[in-house]
Amino acid sequence: MTKALTRRDFLRTSAAMAGSLAIPLTPVTRAQTPEEMALSVTSPSAFDLADIGQRALEAASAAGAAYSDVRITTGLFLTWEGGPRSVCSVNPNDRAAEVGQCLLYRVARFGVRAFVDGHLGFAGNNLSTNLDQVADLANVAVGRARALAAAGSTGAELAPAPVVESGFYETPVRRDPFAVPLGEHEDYYLEAMQSMRDFPTESLMFVFLDTEWSRNDELFMSSEGSLTRQRVSLGNHFALMRARVAYNTFSSINMPTKGIYGSGGWELMDGLGSKLLGMCERAESLTTGLGTKPAEPGAYDVVFAPSSTAMLIAQTIGQPLEADRVLRRAAASKGYLTSYVNSANEELGQFRLGSENLNIRADRTRPGLGATVGFDSDGVETGEYSLVEKGIVTDYVTDRSFAPEFAEGYAPMERDALSNGCSSDTGGRRPRVKVPNLALLPGTEDLSQDDLVAQVERGYFVESMFINPDHASRNVQATGNFVREIRDGELGDLVLNTAMPFSTTRFWGNLEAVGGPSSVGENYPEVDDRDWEIMSHITVTTPPILVNNVFVVNASRRQQLSRGGRPGETGNPQGGNQPRGGRD
C-alpha cells in the first residue's frame, strides 16, 4: 500500500492525469491497454473526481453538517447472461455447451453521508461532474439528517479513526479482464464448456458458471481530511456443478468449483477447462465406483471438508457477530436478523461459542481474498483482528458507526472502541457493516483431511452442503450435497438425503480437531445479493474439521410428493427415517 501523497500532491499529480483513468495504473496494468477490449468511453479524470468530492464536502459543511464524507465509484462490471453452461450426458441428445449473452455495465455513482447533531442522512445518485448538482446532492443528505435531528432523539457518534490524507490501494492483478478482448472471453468459456460437454460419462452432469468481473475505482474524501483512492478488481464467480449418481435418477451430488473466485484479474480463470474436467472425472469415479445409501439417523462424528466448514464459519460465526445484529439494530435491510449474543457488551470476551480449538481471525488485507480492500467504506485502513479466541468471542464485526457502542465491553480489555474496518458497499449506497474475510486457524499438529477421517470409527464426511440458520443463528439445519460414509477410518459410499440439525454453540463446542496448516483451503461463501454495488463477497480460509456428536437425519421426502395429488393424498406420513419430536 502506498501512502506518499498529500492532498495537494494528489490534486497536482491528478491534474496531469486529466483525461486518463481515475487511478494511476501500475506498470503491469498499464501494459494491458483498454483498447484491447475495444473500450472507447473515457472516464472522468482524477482531478474532476477530487473536485467533485471537495465540492460535496464544502456544500455539506455549509448546510450545517458536523461531519460529512463522499464516496465516488466509477468502474466496469461484466457478466454473461444465461451464463457459460454445459451438460455432459450418457444421452447424446442432452449434451450442450453455450456461453450466453454479454452485458457490460459502466458504473458511475456517488454518495454523500452527513451527520447533523449525531443524525445520519445519506444521498446517493448517478455521478455528475456538474458542481451545482454535486452541491445539491450534499444538501439533500444534510436535509435528511436534519429531518431526523428534529426528533431530538439521542445522537450517534462515529468512532475516531486516523485521518488518511492520501491513501492508495490497488488489487494486484496479472491481467486486467477488461483488457482481454471480448472474443477471447467467449472463446475461452466456450472451449471449457465444450470440453466438459464432450466428457464421456455414464451419468448426467451439469455446470453453470455465473461470472461477474468488476473493476471499481473508488475515491473517498471526508470532512476530517481523509482522501483515499483504490482500484478494486474482483472476480465474483460462482459455479455450480451437479452430477446425478446415475442417468435418469434424481439423486445427485453438488461439487463446489474451486479456485476461480477472489480479488484479482483474468488469471483467476487460469485452467478453467482442466478444473471442470477434473471435477467431471472425480464425479464419474464417485458415481460409478461407489454405492449409495440413505443417511442413518443418529449422532455421529463428522468430518467437514474446508468447503463445508467455510459455509459454517460464514453463517454461524461471521454474520451473527456483525455489530448491528448483536446490538439488535438490524431492521428490514437485514431481515430483522439478530444473534445468539444477547448482551453485546457484557458478553464481549465472555461468550463461549465453541471449544478451545475454535480460533477465528477476520482480515481484509490478504491479497486475492474476496473482501480484501485497502480502505473500507468509512475510509478506515483495513486490518486483521481476532474474532474468536479459544472458543470465546473477543470482538465483533464493526465499523465507525457501531464501534462506540462497544466501549463498555472493550474497557475491561483496555481497548479503545475503534472501527475494525468492516464498512462495505460502493459509492451510490449507504455504507453498511458487513462480514469480512474470515480464517479458522489451523491446529498445531499438521493433520490432513485423511488424518481426521482416520480418527472416525463410524461417521460421515461432508464435502459440500448448504446451511439454513434461524434468525438468531442459534439453531441451524445443514443439508448435505455431497456426503460420504466413514467406516473404520476410511471413506465409503455416497450418502444421500443427509440433514444435520444442530445448536450453534453445541456444534462448535464439539469441535474435536482442526486440520493442520497444510490442509488449509480457501473457499468462497456468497453472503449477499449479487449486485455491482454490493461488496460483501468474502473468502473463508479454513482447514477441515472434525466435530463430535453431530445429529444426522434423513431428509428424504420424495415418496411423499403427490403426483396428481388431491387433498389428503400426502403419501408416506413418515417420509423416510425422519425422527419426530426431537430437539435441535
Partner 1 sequence: MADGTMNFQAAPTREEAEQLADRVMGWAKADEVMVEISATSISQAEFARNELSYLEGETEILLDLGVSVGGKRMRLATHDLTEAHLAQLVEEAQDLASSRNIVGEGDMIPAPAPVEMPEGMYFDSTAQAAAPEAHGKAVLDVVEMSRNSDFVTAGTLIRETGSNLVRSTSGYGGFSRYSYAEFSMSARTRTDGTGAGWAWAGNEDAARVDVNDVASRAMDLAARTEDAVAVEPGRYTVILEPEATAQILREIMMRFTSFIQAEAAETAGNVFSRPGGGTRVGEQMTDPRVQVLYDPYDPLMPFSPIDRNTMMERTHWLRDGMLETMAYTPAYAREHDLPITPNPRRLRMDFDDVELTREEMIGNTRRGILVTRFSSLGLVDSETLLLSGVTRDGTFLIENGRISRPIRNMRFLESPFYLLNKIESAGASVRSQRDLVTPRLLVNDFEFTALSDAI
Report residue 168: phi and psi, to 5°: -145, 135
582 touches partner 1 by CB under 8 A: yes
Q: Is 578 among the residues that bind partner 1 (CB under 8 A)?
A: yes
Which amino acid does the sequence have at 52? I
In this chain, which stretch among 63-71, 374-382, 467-475, 518-526 interacts with partner 1, using CB under 8 A?
467-475
103 contributes a contact to partner 1 by CB under 8 A = yes
Nearest distance from C-beta of residue 315 to partner 1, angstroms: 10
* Beta strand ranges found along 166-285 (DSSP E): 167-170, 204-210, 212-222, 227-235, 238-244, 252-256, 262-263
Q: Which x/- pattern, by CB under 8 A, does the window 251-290 give for partner 1?
A: -x--------------------------------------
Contact criterion met (CB below 8 Å) for 222 and 431: no
Positions 310 through 369 that interact with partner 1 (CB under 8 A)? 324, 327-333, 335-336, 338
Query: Which amino acid, 506?
Result: R
Instruction: Kindly tell me which residue out of 194, 292, 503, 577 binds partner 1, with binding defined by CB under 8 A.
Output: 503
- Which positions from 149 through 168 interact with partner 1, judged by CB under 8 A? 150-151, 153-154
Determine the interface stretch with partner 1 among 58-66, 145-153, 377-385, 440-448 (rule: CB under 8 A). 145-153
**Which strand ranges, in their side-by-side order, compose the sheet holding 521-523?**
392-393, 384-389, 360-363, 437-440, 540-542, 521-523
Q: Is 575 in the site for partner 1 (CB under 8 A)?
A: yes
Contact track, partner 1, 37-56, x by CB under 8 A = xxxxxx--------------
Question: C-alpha angle with apex 283: 282 to 286, nearest 5 degrees?
Answer: 85
Site for partner 1 in 209-248 (CB under 8 A): 242, 244, 248
- In this chain, which stretch among 107-115, 275-283, 294-302, 522-530 interacts with partner 1, using CB under 8 A? 107-115
- Contact of 448 with 470, CB cutoff 8 Å: no
DSSP letter at 556?
Answer: -
Beta bridge partners of residue 482, listed in sequence order: 464
Q: How far is the CB of 577 from partner 1 (least distance, A)?
A: 12
Query: Which residue from 503, 428, 524 is spatially nearest to 216, judged by alpha carbons?
Result: 428
CA neighbor of 528 nearest in space, from 328, 260, 337: 337
Taking alpha carbons only, the member of 404, 362, 402 closest to residue 383 is 362
66 binding partner 1? (CB under 8 A): no
Per CB under 8 A, 19 contacts partner 1: no
Return the residue of 8, 18, 105, 174 that touches partner 1, per CB under 8 A: 105
Residue with cell 459454517: 312
- How far is 244 from 227, CA to CA, in rounded Å? 53
Q: How far is the CB of 206 from partner 1 (least distance, A)?
A: 4
The least distance separating partner 1 from the CB of residue 394, rounded to whole angstroms, comes to 23
Q: In what order do the strands lie in the sheet with 238-244?
A: 96-98, 85-89, 204-210, 238-244, 252-256
Q: Which of 259-267, 276-284, 408-416, 568-576 is the region at the interface with partner 1 (rule: CB under 8 A)?
A: 568-576
Smallest separation, CB 12 to partner 1 (Å)? 22
Q: Is 569 in the site for partner 1 (CB under 8 A)?
A: yes
